[in-house]
Amino acid sequence: MDRRSFVASTGALLTLPIAGCVDGDTMDPNDDTDSDTSSQREMHSRIEPEPTDDTEPLVYDVSIVSESTVDSPLTIDVSLTNTSEEAITYGERRTALFWNPGSEGRFSLYPTDAVAERYEYDDGIWWLPDGFATTMDYQTATLEPDATHTETLALLHGPVDDADELRSLPSNLYFAAEFAYSADEDETLPNGTPVTWGFSLQLDQE
């Protein structure tokens, strides 16, 4: 499988195609190109729009932290900033910061602090053999004015019975989060102002 770079393309529930990419295209699962000898190009982050008007006064930012190599998976930072002059509480906290929201295919985003040392590398794919479980409680977090919460996430293939079942990375991965926020101390979440926001990760075809 060609080990190509990702472009992080963000927007309010839209997927922005890049030259050479078509939304929803997937890579050939039978592609047996030697990933260790294929050329690896630098990764680039593209964020559109900035800020995302539909989420204000909360503003998202997404950036690539490190590219996928034989030593570590692709990691990204998702940041959420309060641009208002009031403290804002949001929830569900993990959902808002894109913990394991799922995506097309079998790839998802996982908080690196929770999965470090648990993922494995097989035939060019980083994956999580034992799966990932979270508690069922509804978690909230509070952002003070101008404060930012950031989560570092790893892109990993989910569990399969055998490593031979691992799928190749598709040319486009889309992630979305739905949550609510409130600046009213008397308002109990999940009541509040609803927010839906998403971004796509696309292979750089240049």
Give the phi and the psi of residue 193 in degrees, each rounded to 5. Answer: -85, 120
Q: What is the pTM of this model?
A: 0.76
- What amino acid is encoded at 56 in this protein? E
Task: Give the tens place of pLDDT for each residue, 79-113.
Answer: 999 999 999 999 999 999 999 766 545 889 999 99
Q: HSE on the CB side for 85, CA within 13 Å?
A: 0
Task: Give the tens place of pLDDT for each residue, 133-156.
Answer: 888 999 999 999 999 999 999 999
In angstroms, the CA 112 to CA 135 distance is 17
- What amino acid is encoded at 115 in this protein? V
* Nearest in space to 174 (alpha carbons), one of 75, 60, 98: 98
pLDDT number for residue 18 = 25
Q: Could you tell me the pLDDT band of residue 7, with boundaries at 50, 70 and 90?
A: low
Q: Which residues, in sequence order, are CB contacts of 34 under 8 Å at separation 6+?
A: none
Task: Give the tens place of pLDDT for each residue, 185-197.
Answer: 778 888 899 998 8
Following DSSP, what letter does each residue of 45-76 receive, concatenated? EEE-SSS-GGGTTEEEEEEEEE---SSS--EE
Task: Give the tens place of pLDDT for each residue, 39-77.
Answer: 344 444 343 333 456 788 999 989 889 888 889 998 999
In angstroms, the CA 66 to CA 73 distance is 8
pLDDT number for residue 203 = 65
In angstroms, the CA 180 to CA 75 distance is 26
